[in-house]
Amino acid sequence: MVLMHTPEPKIGSRAHPFSLLGVDGKTHTLQSSRGPLGLLVMFICNHCPYVQALRDRLVADMKDIQKTGVGVVAICSNDPVDYAEDSCENLRKQAKDWGFTFPYLHDESQLVARAYGAVCTPDFFGYNASLELHYRGRLDPAQRGPRTPDMKRELVDAMFQIARTGKTPVQQVPSMGCSIKWRDG
């Protein structure tokens, strides 16, 4: 496992178009995934211990973000040949078992992850209603530990602010997780 931190965000950069097959059998695009007040694009996978440790918080937080009018989409870009847990079949099972309320997409070509500059799982990209990047940070300070009652919900707070004002949250702490499992070549 290679531990990665997300780089500094390029605030104001535009969301990259995508058209990917979801575990629901439907094709999802940037336009179909966005909400009226923004979009959260997250790169996750099934096998990463960082994603596994935050999955319950992730599912709860995404429901709260979706209630604000922000669309949410999860993308797995890992190579399923070397990481069978991240195959389409296993993504479908995990989405059902974890209770995802958002599309879970497979980036088989890995072109979407490259276009976004995703480096790890989890990697979060928060966009305003104009699909301009305003957040690239972590879910919360707990990382792989449990969230305490007094702990800030950094991603939720950031997306609430973006939905309400369209503006960039001042404090953004980089996400940390396993590197995306790139195919050779």
- Rounded to the nearest angstrom, the gap between the alpha carbon of residue 1 and the centroid of all alpha carbons in its chain is 19
Q: pTM value?
A: 0.94
Preceding amide of 122 cis, omega within 30: yes
CA–CA separation, 135 and 126 (whole Å):
5
The yes-or-no verdict on residue 2 having pLDDT over 70 is: no
- Rounded to the nearest angstrom, the gap between the alpha carbon of residue 93 and the centroid of all alpha carbons in its chain is 18
CA–CA separation, 75 and 122 (whole Å):
10
Residue 76 pairs in a beta bridge with 106
The domain segmentation of the chain, as residue ranges, is: 3-179
- Please write the tens of the pLDDT for every residue from 121-176: 999 999 999 999 999 999 999 888 888 888 999 999 999 999 999 889 888 999 99
What CATH number labels 3-179?
3.40.30.10
Residue 75: phi, psi to the nearest 5? -130, 130
